[in-house]
Amino acid sequence: MPTISLKNSILELIQQNHNSNYESEDWVARLSQIGCVVEGADDEQIEIEVFPDRPDLLSHETMARAARAFLHSENQNPSMDVTDGGITMTVDKSLETVRPVILGAVVRGVNTGDSAEQKNEFIQSLMDHQEKLHLSLGRRRRFASIGVHDLSKLVPPFKVITVPKSHEFVPLAMNEKMSIDQILTEHPKGMDYAHLMEGLELFPVIVDSNDDILSFPPIINGEHTTVTESTTDFFIDVTGWDERAVETCLLLICLSLAERGGDVECVQITEWNGKTRMAPLGDAKLHRVSDRLIHRILGLTLEEKEISSAIAKMGGELVTTQVITEGVNSAERWADLVVGEQEHVIKMPRWRSDIMHPVDLVEDIAIGYGYENMPTILSTVHLDAIPLSSSHLNRRIRDSLQSLGLQETQSLTLSCDRDQFDRVRWHQTGEITRLANPITNDHTILRQRITPSLLQLLAANRHHELPQRVYELGTIVLNSHNHTNCAWACAEVDGGFATAKGFAQALLRDLGADLSDVEWLPTDSGVGPWITGRGAKVMVNEEEVGQIGEIDPAVSLEFGLKVPIHAGEFNLETLGRIIPDPVL
């Protein structure tokens, strides 16, 4: 979930026209109810983690707007004032297969601050807001990408065209011209998002009437349109493939600038198919929710006044409460409304893209009403749960390993090639599932075995006294499919292969296996973490169910360990299939 920091200057926006004493109020806890988690607050800032379903809270300004409504019951207009600025943008037909959804807007007269420090803080906040929208709604710029430009450096009208990879312009943070091909292979942003342009021979650019490139979406803006401390008038372009994501991103950027005093102007866009539209649309959306649904979910019968107050705290407006006299019209009503029952017509901001069903409105009503005010009602539904067969197996394995004095642990499924293969000398099994955007070099793949994770755990606790006995029942991923393994690792002076074999025999016996059917075949030399001659494949009915043995000191040293370690790892699907449950 994205995290934002609200500076004191932005906190003033929350307190605007109110005399609240924030040091004595429980406002931090209350703010957590609107779709975020307050990680901490001090005299300098608040750290807030925003839930993925509330992208409208990802900027300082939009967060402050939502907070004022929720904390102070300040009525907010669910619509955004938009005027016609007379600017046009024409989209070439070639964009149909390149990047078809293109919207734009102008915001003038934005108050970016009085001092250089405040102006720089605003610019950084604006950039952070863009990137958070790129990651969330934009799906890393695939669904939508945003460009914000200094309007004073542009000459409308605008055109969106396609150019070959040899076309040149000066990209952001550069002093010299670069071709499209060079940007995608040499520029940092170009290399990060070049995969979005794969397979294209023509590339999208936005130009003004002087044919100066202001944007190469979704990669980078032109250098000459960079937002600076003197910028007060902005042109925003949003392009992509998802209509809902593009429109919401545009509205949220405009809303954050409007909260700073900016006047939003719409742009007339002639789309690639020749149709004309105005963007952005600032009018609120009408939604309908039945009284029956509210009562069924919340267990409450709310008066019209209570619903109006609750929805106002969430930035909406109750338009009317009425009895349905017409049949369901799919263009205006959801199908759960029936003739003769009472419905509530509610206006919600167009940028609240998370409102997709009447249940979402019920959730907003519940938040605005206050979860603490909800009645305590026990469920009237009685369900008898039946454990999965895998749950029986997992329970029996846990009981067996815990009886051997092992402590259960849980580690990440994320790992890396070095830990999974190089250090422990195991070969990969099938296809490796790799992360497209790993955060660290230690978490680049999904693990194929658990034993390396246990060795890392022992290494992290090597300063504690011995013995250390741990096991894990966890997920591994082979060929992009989840499987379950159990593994143990014991760091103890008197442990060895005999102890590992004893653990394995105890586990198999507790699962109901006939030990006379179990074979112990030597592992291949140099394959796996075992000392040569002290590692074994565990075979049941001539099928390998796992491996056990004594860890080679050379492998232990790779993890920073210098004590004898014995370990084992078994595949639960194979164990459950070969050894039937003796109880069932």
CB proximity list for 449: less than 8 A, separation 6 or greater: 420, 424, 426, 476, 485, 487, 569
pLDDT, tens digit, for every residue of 95-114?
999 999 999 999 999 999 99
pLDDT at 348: 96
Q: Are residues 352 and 446 in the same domain?
A: no
Query: Which of 279, 314, 344 is the last residue before a domain boundary?
Result: 279
Rounded average pLDDT over 362-372: 91
Whether residue 332 is predicted with pLDDT greater than 60 in this model: the reply is no
Q: Are residues 32 and 181 in the same domain?
A: no
pLDDT at 409: 94
Q: Does 384 fall in a domain?
A: no
**353 close to 137: Cβ distance less than 8 angstroms:** yes
Q: Are residues 365 and 419 in the same domain?
A: no
Q: Does 135 fall in a domain?
A: yes
> Among 410, 311, 260, which residue's Cα sits nearest to residue 76?
311
Q: Are residues 128 and 228 in the same domain?
A: yes
Rounded average pLDDT over 425-443: 89
One DSSP character per residue, 449-517 reads: -SHHHHHHHHHHTTTSPSPEEEEEEEEEEETTEEEEEEEEEEE-TT--HHHHHHHHHHHHHHTT--GGG
Residue 152's pLDDT band (boundaries 50, 70, 90)? very high
Residue 162's pLDDT band (boundaries 50, 70, 90)? very high
CATH of residue 544's domain is 3.30.930.10
Q: Does 145 or 335 have the greater pLDDT score? A: 145
User: What is the C-alpha separation between 500 and 490, in angstroms, rounded?
Assistant: 9
Q: Does 407 or 495 have the greater pLDDT score? A: 407
Is pTM beyond 0.85? Reply is no
As for how many domains the chain has, the answer is 4
Name the residue type at position 482: N
pLDDT at 49: 82
pLDDT, tens digit, for every residue of 22-55?
443 455 556 667 767 777 666 667 777 888 889 9
Q: Does 538 fall in a domain?
A: yes
Phi, psi of 339 (to 5 degrees): -60, 135
Q: Does 10 fall in a domain?
A: yes
Q: Are residues 451 and 545 in the same domain?
A: yes
User: What is the C-alpha separation between 266 and 87, in angstroms, rounded?
Assistant: 8
Q: Are residues 68 and 141 in the same domain?
A: no
pLDDT at 311: 96
Q: Are residues 197 and 233 in the same domain?
A: yes
Q: Does 380 fall in a domain?
A: no
Rounded average pLDDT over 89-100: 96
**87 close to 233: Cβ distance less than 8 angstroms:** no
pLDDT at 336: 60
Q: Does 504 fall in a domain?
A: yes
Helix axes 60-72, 8-15, angle to 10 degrees: 40
Q: Are residues 139 and 260 in the same domain?
A: yes
Q: Are residues 144 and 263 in the same domain?
A: yes
Query: Which of 279, 309, 342 is the last residue before a domain boundary?
Result: 279
Measured in whole angstroms, the distance separating CA 1 from the mean position of its chain's CA atoms is 5
Query: Which of 279, 295, 317 is the last residue before a domain boundary?
Result: 279
Q: Are residues 397 and 487 in the same domain?
A: yes
Q: Does 583 fall in a domain?
A: no
Q: Are residues 554 and 405 in the same domain?
A: yes
Name the residue type at position 5: S
User: What is the C-alpha separation between 567 and 535, in angstroms, rounded?
Assistant: 10
For residue 271, the enclosing domain spans 82-279
User: What is the C-alpha separation between 361 and 316, in angstroms, rounded?
Assistant: 10
Q: Does 584 fall in a domain?
A: no
Q: Are residues 204 and 310 in the same domain?
A: no
Cis amide prior to 467 (ω within 30 degrees): yes
CATH of residue 91's domain is 3.50.40.10
CATH of residue 44's domain is 3.30.56.10
Q: Which residue has the tokens 């049941």?
A: 540
> Among 249, 231, 228, 230, which residue's Cα sits nearest to residue 240?
249
Q: Among residues of the chain, what percentage have pLDDT more than 70?
A: 90
